[in-house]
Amino acid sequence: MSLTLYGTAASRAARSLWMLEELGVPYVHVGTHYLHGESRKPEFLAINPNGRIPALVDGDVMVWESMAINLYLARRFGGPLAAADPAEEAGLLRWSFWVMTECEKDALAILFHRFALPPEQRRPGLADAAEKALARPYGVLEAELEGREYLVGNRFTVADLNVAAVLAWAAAAPGLGNAHPRVGDWLRRCLGRPAYRKVREMARS
Ligand SMILES: N[C@@H](CCC(=O)N[C@@H](CS)C(=O)NCC(=O)O)C(=O)O
């Protein structure tokens, strides 16, 4: 078996590295960067014509899009992260699509404009607006987490991983977590997992 994940850990590739680490399967990591044209080289464009990381190669199968990679890996390797039946599969898909369409853009704005950009380039107004926009999806999540620890099947699944990996970006807005304590607790539970912490270390080194 040859499983290769392309993309530096300091990028959206962290989501799929987290998944691979949770699964505990052997894989090769190629730290292709999104800067300096690395992901635009012909050899990488042959894997992902969009020129973006992450991308996964599993034998003859090539997968791009972080959520698709993680859902593919869940199906490929099974176990507790994966769906036990079609109803659970619907849950995994629903939450993964939801976080990308309803939350990712605003979570990224918070990350950039509260943390990642040099202070002189930050526009706090954009972060404030993103925080306001996220209040609604956070409310949905808060209600969903009433009386349960995880999103699907009462165990940590790829749904939790995909949603938490995106909302980790919004952790720079403590107000959101404070106003939605169940989400705050759930996020801490997910991001406290050894596999996530390992990938954070990879991103720092
Ligand atoms: N929707 C894609 C987005 C991938 C993406 O935008 N990756 C960034 C790095 S975090 C990238 O490769 N940027 C390089 C570029 O756009 O040239 C996913 O989730 O995989």
pTM of the predicted model, to two decimals? 0.97
Q: Which atom of ligand 1 is nearest to the CA of 53?
A: 12
Say yes or no: 107 and 36 in one domain. Answer: no
Out of 60, 78, 96, a domain closes at 78
Closest residue by Cα to residue 139 from 197, 191, 183, 77 = 183
Confidence tier at 1 by pLDDT (50, 70, 90): low
Ligand 1 pocket, residue 53 CB under 6 Å: yes
CATH number at residue 129: 1.20.1050.10
Residue 92 shares a structural domain with residue 73: no
DSSP 101: I
Worst-scoring range by mean pLDDT, 5-9, 121-125, 160-164, 170-174? 170-174
pLDDT digit string, tens, across residues 28-55: 999 999 999 999 999 999 999 999 999 9
Cα-to-centroid distance, 49 and ligand 1 (Å): 12
Do 158 and 93 fall within a single domain? yes
Q: Please report whether residue 202 resides in a domain.
A: no
Domain presence at residue 115:
yes
Shared-domain flag, residues 91 and 150: yes
Residues 71 and 97 in one domain: no
202's tokens: 């990879």
**Which structural domain range is residue 164 located in?**
86-196
Q: Calculate how far, in angstroms, residue 85's C-alpha sits from the geometric centre of ligand 1.
A: 31
How many folded domains does the chain comprise? Answer: 2
Whether residue 172 is predicted with pLDDT greater than 80 in this model: the reply is no
